[in-house]
Amino acid sequence: MADRYSFSSKPHAAGGFGHIIKGHDNDLERDIAVKVLSRLRQAFTEAEVERFRREARILAKLSHPNIPAIYYVEIGKDEATFLIIFQFVEGANLRQLLTAQGACAISEVRNWFHQIASALDYAHSRGIIHRDIKPENIIITPDRESAYLVDFGIALSAEESKKLTEKGYALGTPGYMSPEQVAGKDLDFRTDIYSLGVTLYEALAGKPIPVGAYADLSASDESIPPQIDELIQECFYPVERRVPTAKAFSTSGRCSQTSQAPI
């Protein structure tokens, strides 16, 4: 393995329980990303190891143009062998773009969020709830044409989610979690739709959604049609009335890319 791969000495990015190192596959002559389980204490806890294994299993099941492809998984007994090798995506995450430039143009956001919704719909069709949709987990390529959904570290199948929430656990990122996720209730795929709406608002506003009364995007930016505000607010409805699927998010009258709709 040492002959085939070469690695950067510095982390490329960090997540909740692991860090990313950029590398190169010398045999296939392609850049790779390596996710390594972080050593937070003297030894890995069972929970840390299980989360890493879960991400590897989830990634191995997924094959979609907007989800980085997995190439190799190695799970051993020391830090050096707890790793996932997958497609390296050049670019910056949406959080970095928002910090650097503020709000993104709606023409770009339309394209990105159709791709992310497509990736999410695909994951949902495989029984996977992402549970952590947020700007940090959306990678935008340098040409700003493609978006990737990353970091399935706390993704769960619907059945796993049910078992976890029965014990009262709430995993996710405050500010992006659905009310039912915050409450530790039983979840389905619509929890990701809530988070998608929060993230869409932030991409267009350049700042987090305000707490309390909803502030219309269309009122402060005439390039954003009122239907966008309607779509986002429908993502926040109680779960039984919420936008039901990621596909519906992309293809409904308010969010398709037709001339009759805003996204």
79's tokens: 């830090």
User: What is the per-residue pLDDT across 210-256, written as a single tens digit (0 to 9) for each?
Assistant: 888 899 999 999 999 999 999 999 999 999 999 999 999 998 645 44
Residue with tokens 């503020």: 102
Answer yes or no: is 28 within a domain. yes
Same domain, 138 and 245: yes
Same domain, 75 and 164: no
Which member of 132, 151, 192, 229 is catalytic?
Answer: 132
Q: Using alpha carbons, list the distances in angstroms from residue 36 to 17, 53, 150, 161, 167.
A: 9, 11, 15, 24, 28
Answer yes or no: is 260 within a domain. no
User: What is the per-residue pLDDT across 117-172, written as a single tens digit (0 to 9) for each?
Assistant: 999 999 999 888 898 999 999 999 999 999 999 887 655 544 554 554 454 555 67
Residues forming beta bridges with residue 21, ordered by sequence position: 11, 34
Question: Mean per-residue pLDDT for 189-204?
Answer: 97
pLDDT of residue 179: 94
Q: Which of 38, 55, 87 is the last residue of a domain?
A: 87
Same domain, 144 and 33: no
Domain span at 48? 5-87
Answer yes or no: is 222 within a domain. yes
pLDDT of residue 112: 97
Q: What is the pTM of this model?
A: 0.82
Same domain, 80 and 115: no
pLDDT of residue 170: 53
User: What is the per-residue pLDDT across 55-92, written as a single tens digit (0 to 9) for each?
Assistant: 677 777 789 999 998 888 776 655 445 677 889 999 99
Please tell me the distance from the alpha carbon of residue 214 to that of residue 216, in angstroms, as a whole number: 6
User: What is the per-residue pLDDT across 91-112, written as a single tens digit (0 to 9) for each?
Assistant: 999 999 999 999 999 999 999 9
Same domain, 104 and 59: no
Q: Which of 87, 121, 136 is the last residue of a domain?
A: 87
Same domain, 182 and 233: yes
pLDDT grade for 1, boundaries at 50, 70 and 90: low
Same domain, 39 and 169: no
Per the annotation, the verdict on 229 as an active-site residue is: no
